[in-house]
Amino acid sequence: NAPSLTLGIETSCDETGIALYHSEKGLLAHSLYSQVKLHAEYGGVVPELASRDHVRKILPLVRETLDKAQTQPSDITGIAYTRGPGLMGALLSGAAVARSLAFAWQLPAVGVHHMEGHLLAPMLEDTQPEFPFICLLVSGGHSMIIRVDGIGRYRLLGDTLDDAAGEAFDKTAKMLGLGYPGGPEVSKRALQGVSDRYKFPRPMVDRPGLDMSFSGLKTYTLNTWLKAKDENDATEQTQADICRAFEMAVADTLRIKCKRALEQEGLNRLVVSGGVSANREIREQLTALMDKRRGEVFFPRLEFCTDNGAMIAYAGSKRLAAGQSDDLNFACQPRWDL
Ligand code: KG4
Ligand code: ZN
């Protein structure tokens, strides 16, 4: 195969991510613009504002990324964009730019599944997992346990029955009056928390199977907080203790489910990715699990846990190398199974 250079464009939600991935030299450059400040005052992502901000930012970031990598458009051999799942307007902003550039530069373009991007993000690191492995994919919209036998060879083993893990973090933060996005806020507070003041339930661990459920945990959090308010004990310490108990419950649950998946599939390699994989407690618990099993665990670097262009450039380069590309009649898919 001749060397390739893939331009990746990620715009599924509230981050504009652009990257250049070279098939032999690896990641050449990447740029990220986060809209977090724009949405913070609303306590969540406002879709229409997100689309407009992507439109404003994509091309300047493409230029910036080309400059960082000291490359020209003529060096690029293919373009990858996030086709779904995500916010329709946000997806269309990225796809329209990707398709237009591909048309102007006469290059192939391929629409990538956002979760495949997350799933493959650890491949951007120096030590990469070999296939097959179990992947725990935990983000704001998904909580999945997947058996991965190769690029594009994914089997869903477990899913969430209600809220995704990241969604549970975000809702917990909102209930406690903490900022958006909630995951980093909850985990920052948890550091000050006392670990044995509250013991939250470990949802679904007593039931067989690999499905997960986090909405009960959210309700438990709310009731604990309301009770503390009733008792005039809604202090910062209580807030921190609740964050700690919540985070421990999520981490424990994920560890138990991962262990079960590895045993079921007879594997000893675990990949953890998606926004929630940035969580310190979850990383520690899963690392301890794999140490104990004398297995291997892989995480993306922190900046590639959450949404970014690098993972889309990487996944797209693999898809393009396999001969896949889309024609001009592109369609975005706000809902799309992996
Ligand atoms: O992967 P991502 O950037 O976007 C989606 O594809 O959803 O994930 C965002 C989610 C949010 O719910 C955010 O609260 C959560 O990841 N998150 C965290 C942490 N950092 C981000 N959750 C727990 N601990 C963190 N440190
Ligand atoms: Zn994501």
pLDDT in tens, 256-291: 999 999 999 999 999 999 999 999 999 999 999 999
Distances (CA, A) of 125 to 22, 281, 286, 311, 315: 14, 21, 18, 11, 14
**pTM listed for this prediction:** 0.95
Question: Closest Cα partner for 115 from 251, 271, 329?
Answer: 271
pLDDT in 10s for each residue of the chain, 338 residues = 789 999 999 999 999 999 999 999 999 999 999 999 999 888 889 999 999 999 999 999 999 999 999 999 999 999 999 999 999 999 999 999 999 999 999 999 999 999 999 999 999 999 999 999 999 999 999 999 999 999 999 999 999 999 999 999 999 999 999 988 899 999 999 999 998 899 999 988 888 899 999 999 999 999 999 999 999 999 999 999 999 999 999 999 999 999 999 999 999 999 999 999 999 999 999 999 999 999 999 999 999 999 999 999 999 999 999 999 988 777 899 999 98
Closest C-alpha residue for ligand 1 atom 10: 140
Distance 140 CA to ligand 1 centre (A): 5
CATH topology (fold) of 131-299? Nucleotidyltransferase; domain 5 (3.30.420)
Closest atom, ligand 1, to C-alpha of 141: 7
Of the listed ligands, the closest to the CA of 278 is 1
Considering only CA atoms, give the Rg of the chain.
20
Tens of pLDDT, residues 53-68: 999 999 999 999 999 9
25's CB contacts (< 8 A; 6+ apart) are none
The alpha carbon of 185 and the centre of ligand 2 are apart by a number of angstroms equal to 18
Cα of 142 to ligand 2 centre, how many Å? 9
Pairing, β 78-84 against β 5-10: parallel
Decide whether any atom of ligand 1 lies within 6 Å of the 278 Cβ.
yes
Give the fold, CATH level 3, of 5-120+305-321.
Answer: Nucleotidyltransferase; domain 5 (3.30.420)
Domain positions in the chain: 5-120+305-321, 131-299
Residue 101: what are its φ and ψ, rounded to 5°? -65, -40
User: How far apart are the CA of 55 and the centre of ligand 2, in A?
Assistant: 19
Which of 13, 135, 306 best tests ligand 1's pocket when mutated (most atoms within 8 Å of CB)? 306
Give me the interface pTM, i.e. the ipTM: 0.99
120: CB partners within 8 A, 6+ apart:
151, 311, 314, 315, 318
> 306: Cβ below 6 Å to ligand 1?
yes
For ligand 1, mutation pick of 115, 276, 301, 308 (most atoms within 8 Å of CB): 276
Question: Which residues contact residue 85 at a Cβ distance below 8 angstroms, ignoring those fewer than 6 apart?
Answer: 12, 113, 114, 115, 141, 333, 334, 335, 336
Distance 328 CA to ligand 1 centre (A): 33
Q: Tell me the β-bridge partners of 79.
A: 7, 109
